[in-house]
Amino acid sequence: MRQLLLDLLPESPPSLDNFVPGGNGETLTALTEWLAGQPEVTAFCLHGEAGCGKSHLLQASGFCYIDAQSNPGLTAVTAKHPLAIDNVDALDATGQIALFALFNQLNANSSRLLTAAQQPPQHLAMREDLRTRLGSGLIYRLRPLTDDEKAEAVTALARERALKLSPDIVGYLLRHVSRDMRTLAMLVVALDQYTLEQKRPVTLPLLRELLSAPLV
């Protein structure tokens, strides 16, 4: 059944359109405007706890995406293109020196640097000159969706596919799978496909069948 769920999960690359903002509407608007060139500042920093959507937005930016957790020294990263650097708080000493230089190059070229961390720049344990650079641009906090907001979003996504999900079904999804919206949205699509293939309505037994070997 695990392979069945893998087969049903759709390809759904992160985009600004499939990001569920919840209470982050102002932040999403500011980021969208900045990506379009306004205002003309080099840096934009997103901060917030794990699972609030930072990585989704960085990958959706269209910039060259680098995760500092897997490349803490920013090896082979250049300023040829706008950069989206995730988990900047994971940069090692070499990576911090590299990012300082990259920032200056991007700024000189009127290019862009999008970063994400769990804390705002002024609270990051890093070089003071880099902290100042990152703090010189726009800084926005991403707040995690509440359970009610996730339930509303899942119900709305299902409604768009003419799929009726009872509160029990939605509650079960929130309790038994990864609670990030990207996974929940993909599971709504997978559930829709599975009900069509099985020619059965959505019930808790059918959902448990689909998730009998949890993917997440």
Distance CA 141, CA 47 (A): 5
Query: Is residue 4 pLDDT above 60, yes or no?
Result: no
Exposed e or buried b for every residue in 63-76, given b needs 16+ CB within 10 A? bebbbbeebbebee
Q: What is the pLDDT of residues 5-36, one digit of tens each?
A: 545 555 568 899 888 898 999 999 999 999 99
Tell whether the model's pLDDT for residue 215 goes beyond 60: no
For 161, residues 6+ apart whose C-beta sits below 8 A from its C-beta are: 188, 189, 192
Q: Which H/E stretch holds residue 30? A: helix 25-35
Q: Please report the pLDDT score of residue 216 as a whole number.
A: 42
- Average pLDDT of the chain to the nearest whole number: 90
Helix axes 181-198, 167-176, angle to 10 degrees: 120
pTM: 0.81
**pLDDT tops 90 at residue 78:** yes
Give me the helix-helix angle, 147-160 and 181-198, nearest 10°.
40
Can you tell me whether residue 59 is helix, strand or coil? helix
Q: Is 159 helix (H, G, I), strand (E, B) or coil?
A: helix
Instruction: Name which residue leads in pLDDT, 133 or 209.
Output: 133
Mean pLDDT of 47-52: 91
**Interval 143-168 mean pLDDT:** 90
CB atoms within 10 A of CB 16: 15
DSSP helix/strand/coil, 115? strand
CA distance 204 to 148: 20
Burial class of residue 32 in the structure, from the number of CB atoms within 10 Å of its CB (0-12 exposed, 13-18 middle, 19+ buried): middle
Range from 9-18, 36-45, 86-95, 182-191 carrying the lowest mean pLDDT: 9-18
d(CA 187, CA 9): 7
Q: Select the more confidently predicted residue: 102 or 6.
A: 102
Q: Identify which of 183, 169, 180 has the alpha carbon closest to the alpha carbon of residue 215.
A: 183
The strands making up 43-47's β-sheet, listed across from edge to edge, are 64-67, 83-86, 113-117, 43-47, 138-141
CA 21, CA 58: separation in Å to the nearest integer?
A: 14
